[in-house]
Amino acid sequence: MSARNRELLGLIPASLLVTAGFAGVFIQRSNVLSNVSLTYGAIFLGLCVAGHVFIRITLPHADPYMFPLVALLASFGIVMVYRISATDARQQAQWFVLGLVLFAVTVIVFRDYRKLEQYRYIIAFVSLGLLLLPRLPGIGYQANGAYLGVRIPGVFVFQPTEFAKIGFVVFLASYLRDTRQVMVMGARRILGVTIPPLKHFGPVVVIWGIGMLILITLHDIGSSLMFYGGLLAVLYVATDRLSFVVVGLLAFGLGAWYLGTHIPHVHDRVEAWLHPLDPTLYARPGGSFQVANSMFAQAAGGMFGQGFGQATLTVPGSHPVAYLLPAPQTDMIYAVITDELGLFGGVAVILTYLLFVARGFKTALLARDSFSTLLAAGLSAVFALQVFVIVGGVTRVIPLTGVTLPFISYGGSSIVANFVLLALLLLISDRARQAT
Amino acid sequence: MSGPIIRLFGLIVVLFALLIGWTSRWTVFEASSLNNNQLNRRTLIDEQRIKRGQIIADDGTVLARSVPASGQIWTRFYPTRSLFAQPVGYAIVEFGRSAGLERSRGPELRGLQTGLGSVFGQLGGSQRVGDDVDTTLDPKAQQVATAQLQSASQIGSPKGSVVALNPRTGAVLVMAALPSYDDNRPDATGPTTSTFNRSTQAGYPPGSTFKVLTAVAAIDSGKFTPSSTVNGNSPVTISGVPLSNDGNQSFGTIDLTTALTFSVNTVWAQVAETVGRQTMTDYMRRFGFYSKPPLDYPPDELNASRPYAPNGRPYAPGSPNEDIGRIGIGQGGLQVTPLQMAMVASAVANNGKLMVPHLTSRVVDQDGRTVQTIKPSTYAQVMKPSTAQAVGQMMTHVVQEGTGTAAALTGITVAGKTGTASVGVAGANVTQPWFIAFAPVQNPQVAIAVTVERTQGGFGGTVAAPIAKAVMQTLLAEGK
């Protein structure tokens, strides 16, 4: 069977899921199974098939599993968002369409994505600019103390960091393609640790500098970990030097420790992470209410969950509506998933992400030039880390951060940016698999 | 570059495994502790959606019922308010707390749905309705007990407790305690408001009512008979400290029946010392001392009756530091609940067999089917039936000619024992009167314990015995 036919078949689970999911929510809402659920399913399937046809024409050799996996995640996401808020789901569907359009634009414009290398410094500066936007007075805004978004009142809300993560990886992949040889050569081993010559530390220092800048700019350990981890991943793949990663993580640890002790809101996040069930911390604004309720929601789900549409999200009879779980459709969506579908649902979602990341790394292995390999590995790593950072925050592996769960959480910037990421991975894959 | 890519993927697999591990932690391994966490409002919110069953007195009076509130939730209403607040308790979701029967019978009131029914019930999204709990409580007698406690002459606002049991079944007929509270507003505070249930949670010195237990231990162990004689002169030295009778009265050599009738301290302290610490402790255990009463009531709202050291710590059972002579007359750091003293009277009444006390008679589902019937069960055969008969006879003398004549009922033989514990500063003459009793002696239907917390020199026979009389009269008139 050809790759594209496999891709087409792969869309069946996504369309079944979206139909069954909407049907489930409808039954729960009003005890009726209307044909609206089938309509939603059909529209969604239509969009996916359109995406598929576009790939069939433009990227015939690309990996056949990535797009169906994304469709599965996105369809699951739209059902979850719909279950939480019908208005949000309608917008999410629009963002999905826009994401597909931007996906197509990326594929057409960067057909030869290697020309991105020419613009690497522009890309680097634009990414830096995007990162700094939320700190600009007037348009930047803080969510729970972290600087992650830009808002022009009445026009739009935008999370530039979602795009910056792609820009940084592109820059670094291109930059390290040139410098990696130099950095590896002439390295010495001291006490069993490989130390490159001092004069070649320049690029590494640049990367660490970017990492620290991100940490200081965003005021957020989790999303900085995502960025910085992505950068270190590219560095590691380029040089195969664990020492860089170890030193880099130590530097990050120091920076995170400094922030955790000196910036009040970061300190609060760390405290909430360590002692979520402490009553005083729970009651304090900006305290552990969200983390604790995330745990409560997961505990309510248990092994198999309470079923689609069954989770308690708000306090009944409260005016104005009091949320038991703040930000259920964005940061906390994983907690809602485990509440309704249990441990099994959560594991299914994580494994779907893992499959996607595995295909990304597979693409990196197949790619025949360094830039492509580094780009594919970096994009996959940053994607995986984003999943880790938000799910890890919700499940209390690390302090909670306001990043989205890719393709599932409600949020335009996230959907669109991740479609661009998908486009780049498929472009690399198409080129890598062309000759084989 | 394939080596680092594979290792990097390995790291991501490890990270994702961490996510799965932590998700399992919250969803499975620590789920029940999270579900029961005080901060977790989910369980309570889910509970608000359930129409809890009613709590009903034994004459059909509704003590607690659910009324609809806004947003498809239910709230609790207690029509009898402070009268039954102590035994019934409350379950008010907004406070995240519950107490009393509302708490101990929570699973039944919420509707214990098991098996396939619950699975289909949840799939269908049908409204959950709980089961009704029928209690053994008697509203008339509860009313009389509360009114009597209210009007007893005492220091300050009325404080005290009345517990009446059916000695044959263990059914709790009356559980009145003052101060009480309006269980519709359990958070309200005030000088005459308290959620502390003195019937089950208080630790009071029992005074001379405890001599009934000493008499049981003395006779049942074979060391004494009701006609054994002991020197009743005052004072005598007990544990190195002189002990005197009321008014330092000396009685000469008297038998145990006389010593109980006139509540002679010196005799009973010597008897307790002769019976010995070990045997006394053994009988106390049989009556239920040293452990929480097995009532269908929340364990942390039940207090175990036992002696305490002057530093406030409980003595280990049979500790050599106990002053067993003074414990034998209800002093020596002894702290008891009114419920425990009602159980003492009840065991003597029921031929030495102590029944497990219970507030619930049965659980009935919404279709009127009895889901569960609480059958009388034995807690312990505390003493030989012959001992029970003998001690019952001795107690009859107390009411006929001794300190407890105020509890006498016309046409009905009552067995009882008074107690007057000194409380507060020495010399201030502040007392806590007690009375325990059962009736009719030939065919006991009611066992009772009454105490009033603080009086200015009041006696068990003058303050507590009339209350017991009024309550027993009400219960016996109803044919109980």
**What is chain A's pLDDT, residue by residue, as a tens digit (436 residues)?**
788 888 888 888 887 887 777 777 777 666 555 566 667 777 888 888 899 999 999 999 999 999 999 999 998 998 888 888 878 888 888 899 999 999 999 999 998 888 888 888 899 889 888 888 887 777 776 666 666 677 776 667 778 888 888 998 998 898 888 777 666 665 666 666 666 666 666 666 777 777 777 767 777 777 788 888 888 899 899 888 888 888 888 888 888 888 888 888 788 888 889 999 998 888 888 788 989 999 999 998 888 888 777 777 877 766 677 778 888 888 899 999 999 899 999 999 999 999 999 999 999 999 989 999 999 999 999 999 999 999 999 999 998 887 889 999 998 899 999 999 999 999 999 999 886 5
Tell me, yes or no, whether B284 and B409 share the same domain. Answer: yes
Min CA distance, A140 vs chain B (Å)?
A: 32
> In this predicted structure, what is the pLDDT of residue B169?
97
Nearest CA in chain A to B28: A302
pLDDT > 50? residue B125: no
Compute the mean pLDDT over every residue in chain B, rounded to the nearest whole number: 91
SS3 B367: coil
- Per residue in A357-394, pLDDT (tens digit) is 999 999 999 998 999 999 999 999 999 999 999 999 99
Structure tokens at B73: 């939730």
A343 touches chain B (CB under 8 A): yes
- Per residue in B430-456, pLDDT (tens digit) is 999 999 999 999 999 999 999 999 999
pLDDT > 60? residue B123: no
A352 touches chain B (CB under 8 A): no
Average pLDDT over residues B57-65: 95
Tell me, yes or no, whether B371 and B445 share the same domain. Answer: yes
- Per residue in A253-269, pLDDT (tens digit) is 888 888 888 888 788 88
Question: Distance from CA of residue A433 to its chain's centroid?
Answer: 26
Question: Distance from CA of residue A407 to its chain's centroid?
Answer: 8
Tell me, yes or no, whether B103 and B143 share the same domain. Answer: no
Tell me, yes or no, whether B179 and B276 share the same domain. Answer: yes
- Per residue in B205-216, pLDDT (tens digit) is 999 999 999 999
Among B80, B100, B135, the domain-final residue is B135
| B-chain residues near A316 (CB < 8 A) | 45, 48-49, 71-73
**Tokens 């509970």 sit at which residue?**
B47
Pairing of strands B360-364, B132-135: antiparallel
Q: A130-139, B287-296, B461-470 — which is least confidently predicted?
A: A130-139
Residue B9 belongs to some domain of the structure: no
Tell me, yes or no, whether B230 and B155 share the same domain. Answer: yes
Task: Provide the CATH number for the domain around residue B308.
Answer: 3.40.710.10
Range of the domain at B85: 47-108+130-135
Angle, alpha carbons B344-B345-B346 (nearest 5°): 90
> How far apart, in Å, do the first and last CA atoms of chain A sit?
15
Among B135, B150, B174, the domain-final residue is B135
Task: Provide the CATH number for the domain around residue B73.
Answer: 3.90.1310.10
Banded pLDDT at B118 (limits 50, 70, 90): very low
pLDDT > 60? residue B83: yes
What is residue A119's DSSP assignment? G
pTM: 0.66
Provide the percentage of residues in chain B whose pLDDT is more than 70: 95
Residue B116 belongs to some domain of the structure: no
**Tokens 């502040």 sit at which residue?**
B430
**Closest CB to A237 among B5, B23, B26:** B5
| B-chain residues near A377 (CB < 8 A) | 1, 5, 8
**Closest CB to A237 among B1, B30, B122:** B1
Tell me, yes or no, whether B210 and B280 share the same domain. Answer: yes
Residue A125's CB is within 10 A of a number of other CB atoms, namely: 12
Residues of chain B in Cβ contact (below 8 Å) with chain A: 1-6, 8-9, 12-13, 15-16, 18-20, 22-28, 30-32, 34-35, 37-42, 45-46, 48-49, 69-73, 122, 125
Contact A343 B71 (CB under 8 A): no
| B-chain residues near A297 (CB < 8 A) | 42
Domain count, chain B: 2
Tell me, yes or no, whether B101 and B166 share the same domain. Answer: no
Min CA distance, B8 vs chain A (Å)?
A: 7
| A-chain residues near B39 (CB < 8 A) | 277, 279, 282, 292, 296
Contact A316 B3 (CB under 8 A): no
> In this predicted structure, what is the pLDDT of residue A182?
65
Asked if residue A270 lies in contact with residue A220, where contact means CB atoms within 8 angstroms, the answer is: no
| A-chain residues near B74 (CB < 8 A) | none
Tell me, yes or no, whether B93 and B166 share the same domain. Answer: no
Higher pLDDT, B477 or B127: B477
Nearest CA in chain B to A364: B5
Asked if residue B198 lies in contact with residue B177, where contact means CB atoms within 8 angstroms, the answer is: yes
A323 touches chain B (CB under 8 A): no
Beta-bridge mates of residue B446: B439
Among B85, B120, B135, the domain-final residue is B135
Residue B120 belongs to some domain of the structure: no
What is residue A145's DSSP assignment? T
Residue B180 belongs to some domain of the structure: yes
SS3 B314: strand
> In this predicted structure, what is the pLDDT of residue B115?
38
Average pLDDT over residues B459-475: 95
Tell me, yes or no, whether B446 and B349 share the same domain. Answer: yes
Min CA distance, B35 vs chain A (Å)?
A: 6
Residue B118 belongs to some domain of the structure: no
Query: Which residue, among A62, A64, A59, has the nearest Cα to A11 in the 3D structure?
Result: A64
A364 touches chain B (CB under 8 A): yes
Tell me, yes or no, whether B52 and B168 share the same domain. Answer: no
C-alpha to C-alpha distance for B1 and A378, rounded to whole angstroms: 13
Nearest CA in chain A to B32: A299
Higher pLDDT, B172 or A195: B172
Nearest CA in chain B to A325: B42
> In this predicted structure, what is the pLDDT of residue B223?
96
Higher pLDDT, A75 or B384: B384
Q: Within A302-369, where are the H helices?
A: 333-366
The dihedral region occupied by A68, where left means phi > 0, alpha psi between -120 and 50, and beta the remainder, is alpha
Nearest CA in chain B to A294: B26
pLDDT > 80? residue B301: yes
> In this predicted structure, what is the pLDDT of residue A148?
67
Structure tokens at A414: 């996230």
CA dihedral A199, A200, A204, A209 (to 10 degrees): 30
Banded pLDDT at B188 (limits 50, 70, 90): confident
Report A:31-60 residues touching B (Cβ under 8 A): 31
Min CA distance, B166 vs chain A (Å)?
A: 43
> In this predicted structure, what is the pLDDT of residue B292?
95
Banded pLDDT at B127 (limits 50, 70, 90): low
Residue B454 belongs to some domain of the structure: yes
**Closest CB to A395 among B22, B42, B70:** B22
Angle, alpha carbons B432-B438-B444 (nearest 5°): 170
Banded pLDDT at B177 (limits 50, 70, 90): very high
Nearest CA in chain B to A360: B9
The string of DSSP codes covering A288-339 is SHHHHHHHHHHHHHTTT-S-TT-S--B-TT-SSPPBSSSSTTTTTHHHHHHH
Contact A388 B9 (CB under 8 A): no
Min CA distance, B121 vs chain A (Å)?
A: 13
Beta-carbon pairs below 8 A across chains A and B: 140
Tell me, yes or no, whether B238 and B304 share the same domain. Answer: yes
**Closest CB to A347 among B23, B42, B122:** B23
> In this predicted structure, what is the pLDDT of residue B116?
38
**Tokens 């950068």 sit at which residue?**
A231
A347 touches chain B (CB under 8 A): yes
Query: Which residue, among A270, A269, A276, A315, has the nearest Cα to A292 in the 3D structure?
Result: A276
Query: Which residue, among B432, B429, B448, B449, has the nearest Cα to B440 in the 3D structure?
Result: B448
Tell me, yes or no, whether B87 and B202 share the same domain. Answer: no
